[in-house]
Structure 1
Amino acid sequence: MKPHFRSSPLAGLLLLASLGAAGAAMAEPAPPFAALLAQAQASAPRLAEARANIARAEGLARQAGVLPNPTLEFEVENFSGSGPFRGTSLSETTARVGQTLELGGKRSARVAAGRAEIDAARAQARRVEAEYAFDLAAAYAEAEAAERRLQLARESLTLAEEDARIASALVDAGREAELRRLQAQAAVEAARAAVQAAQAARETAFGALTTLAGAPAPITSIPASLLESAAPLFPGAAPAASATTSYLAAQAEREAAARRLRVERRRAVPDVTVSIGVRRFEADDAAALVAGVSVPLPLFDQNRGNIAAARAEAAAAEARLNAARLEAESAVRTSAARSAAAESRLSAARQGESTAHEAYRLARIGYEAGRLPLAELVAARRALAEAREQTIAAAVERISAQAAIARLSVVATPGEQ
């Protein structure tokens, strides 16, 4: 007889608890932003791609300096024919070695172009690193802000429930109409919906941070606040327009394009192939040296199409450099003003939150005493929630403004948090 197993609610609870414990073990809090950025240098796919592009450019540069391979030729003539040429008694055997000599400075032009490509790849990697630091700072700040918004929504729900309790007590005491109880309950339901929306936004923000950082385990919390940090996010990140990452990358690309144009022009010069060998005469039992020179006649292919394409590419790189210069000048001019405005906005938002908190406290006292209607209390509570949201948004904007300055800089190393 087979044993019969019956599931029980206790077994289900134990299973859920074990799964929850496993999920908690796999999750981890975020380290301070500086530490997270340092860790991401080795795990972020975007940075790994930039390093791979540098390695690719280095490999192509090594290949550019390699000489053409020599050719080995073996030739047999006048054998296995008819008449006196039957067999191999009158055959002639030639062994020849040939080498192509590149003229017009082709090899040196290729080597210079390869070095320029390495410089361009490194400049692009520095630009990617700076932009990645900006994106990671923004994602870190958004995750912390989402966590704070969830806390704010929960606090608003608690306040709404307390206001509903007070309204219900006043209705029971005959001091308010039944309509006030229904209005308070509607406010509670709206606050619950806001909590659910904030929870979903929090999960989305932390998921984006985990993906961007390339973290091996999901990031679930931020113990070290970035929004409350008073120190500059990236100290010393205030470059001139000619030293921004985008401008330097465009400048390196322009140089690489100019080097590629020089390579294509050098390719139009014909190469010379020289050869030397030994020829064996079977009939005379003798041998002699053979030598030759071959030069292609540039009648049809003069590499004009590739030269025109490279010239157009160089012109496009020059245009991109001019555009990058104008954009860098504009960004440098506005970045400092944006950062100062963000600091002022945050200070004003914090003062407004303090004022709104005091206004809500007084409104609640007045409502409990019967001197203010429920609408005044609800309006004060809504104003407090909006003031707290403004403080969070201003703190996020401050971090974004500081990170935007760092995105312009070659050095994207955050300060200690």
Structure 2
Amino acid sequence: MQWNRSACAFALIAFSWTAVSGQTLQPEVTAKSLVDMALQRNREYLATKARVTEAEALLRQAGIRPTPSIEIESASGKLLGSSGDSEFSAAYFHTIEAAGKRDKRIQVAERAKQVAEAEVDERRRQMTFDVKTRYFQAFTEELKVAAINRLIPVNRENYQMTVSRVELGDAAPLEQQLLLTDVNRSEAQKAIFSARSDAALLDLKTTVGLSTSDSLRLPPSFVLEPPTLTLERLTQYALQNRPDLRILAALEEQASAEAEQARSEGKPDLTASARYTHTNLRFDQLGLSKTGAVVPLQNHENVATFGLAVPLFTSKRTEGAVSAAMARTTQAELRREHLLQTIPQEVEAAFRRWSGAQRTLQILKSGVVEQSEKNLIVIREAYRLGQLRLFDVLNEQRKLIETQLAFVDAQAEAAQALAELERAVGGNLP
């Protein structure tokens, strides 16, 4: 009877890892919901989005034309003893931009806006990878804690049963010591996995933007959606959608536009002007008025003046700015060409990592985990019949736990590989 009870207790060890107690983990958050939460809370991402608003404002500013000016002057000779002399003038000045300066400013601002938008997409790509990586890490550690929590009650029950058997003389004291060692080993593993789980969960909260006091429950399981495209199609998709590649292309175009703007700044602007002048002059001589009266001589003049001002400088004045812009163009071009070479390699490496992780999962599930569970059942039955020692059962039990933990690690590797593949292609898989 006692042998049957012991055998039943050992039978509880062969548990399934695909189901987790609903009281331990609640299906409240997913990787996608955490990514959305991070995009709403993360200050660095929000600051990057604010740069788009800044670029839009600068684009509007770039389209503003030079402001015309009005000049009004009044002159009087009273202060210097010429009370009869005075002059009034009003002038209008208008700057005419040459060499399409306004259009070139707008082109530079448009490229800057494209850079800012691509930087937002790039930050979103990196943040999605960071959140998913930490999510899968936290999920893996919680799975390990749940596995050990299921094992500890079984070990304790077996230990208590063996203590009773030792007291009755049905078992050797060595069996009691072996089971006690196994119980303590499980408790030590639980402490390690619990600490790792807490640290991983805190790291996830920090990345998402939650405080340490916020509650965060992970679901009991997650489903990985494998890519449906071939490696060649994924590579093409990455070359078309990678935001970091779009950033470099926009920077190259922006630098080229800045070079054109610098060249246009080497062409002088024109300033057109129009002036009206009214002058009153009084002379010491006397003359006759229309009525024949003797009056001082006076002169009244109305003059209209038109002018065109041109600054005197040559195109050499902006040669330094042009050279600097061309250097930035070369830098962006070289970096873009380098990224064009490395993107296919990154996609292929991530794709092969994902494929290898999938094969590992399949092998562990069908050829290792299931077989280890069957082996434990056979060894347990042999122990019940007295053909094997308790040490053999404990050894096989530890092998099963190690195998199950390896299976959890393989699941984590597959999830990490999929997240890496998503980052390599530029976002969510098509």
Closer/same/farther in 2, CA of residues 67 and 191 from structure 1, 3 Å limit: same
Q: Which residue of 2 aligns with 1:194?
A: 189
Cα distance in structure 1, aligned partners of 2:201 and 2:227: 20
Structure 2 portions without partners, runs of 5+:
1-24, 282-298
Measured in 1, the distance between the counterparts of 2:78 and 2:426 equals 73
Q: 2:307 aligns with which of 274, 282, 292?
A: 292
**Structure 1 residue corresponding to 2:336, chosen from 315, 321, 334:** 321
- Structure 2 equivalent of residue 232 of structure 1: 226
Could you say what secondary structure the match of 1:296 adopts?
coil
**Could you tell me which residue of structure 1 aligns to residue 263 of structure 2?**
265
Asked if 2 retains the 8 angstrom alpha-carbon contact of 1:130 and 1:408, the reply is no
Relative distance call for 1:98 and 1:234 in structure 2 (3 A) is farther
Give me the identity figure in percent: 22
Residue 65 of structure 1 is matched in structure 2 by 63
Aligned to 1:387: 403
CA contact 2:235–2:344 (8 Å) conserved in 1: no
Q: For this pair of structures, how many residues does the alignment match?
A: 383
Please state if 1:242 is matched with 2:239. Answer: yes
Change (3 A) 1:188 1:94: farther
Q: Tell me, yes or no, if structure 1 residue 354 matches structure 2 residue 370.
A: yes
TM-score of the superposition, structure 1-length normalised? 0.79
Per-residue deviation, 1:343: 0.8
Change (3 A) 1:165 1:64: same
Give 1:155-194 correspondences, 5 Å limit: 155-169=150-164, 171-172=166-167, 178=173, 180-194=175-189
Counterpart in the other structure of 1:203: 198
Answer whether contact 1:76 1:91 (CA < 8 A) is retained.
yes
SS in 2 for 1:279: strand
Task: Please report how far the alpha carbon of residue 58 of structure 1 lies from its aligned counterpart in structure 2 after TM superposition.
Answer: 1.6
CA RMSD of aligned residues (A): 3.3
Alignment correspondent of 1:129? 124
**TM-score normalised according to structure 2 size:** 0.77
TM-superposition CA deviations, 1:30-76 (whole Å, max 9, x none):
33334444555444445433432222222221211111112233334
In structure 2, the CA distance between the partners of 1:80 and 1:315, relative to structure 1 (3 Å rule), is farther
Determine whether 1:142 maps to 2:137: yes
- Give the corresponding residue for 2:112: 117
Secondary structure, counterpart of 2:317 in structure 1 = coil
Contact (CA 8 Å) 2:29, 2:217: kept in 1 or not? Answer: no
User: Do the aligned partners of residues 149 and 28 (structure 1) sit closer, same or farther apart at CA in structure 2, a change above 3 Å counting?
Assistant: closer
TM-superposed deviation, 1:148: 0.7
Partner of 2:319: 304
CA distance in structure 2 between the aligned counterparts of 1:80 and 1:163, rounded to whole angstroms: 119
Which residue identity does 1:289 align to in structure 2? A
* 2: CA distance, partners of 1:265 / 1:164: 86
CA spacing shift, 1:67–1:359, aligned 2, 3 Å: same
Task: Structure 1: give runs of 5+ residues left out of the alignment.
Answer: 1-26
Relative to 1, partners in 2 of residues 1:75 and 1:355: Cα closer, same or farther, differing over 3 Å? farther
- 1:234-255 CA deviation, whole Å, 9 max, x = no partner? 9899241522413233222222
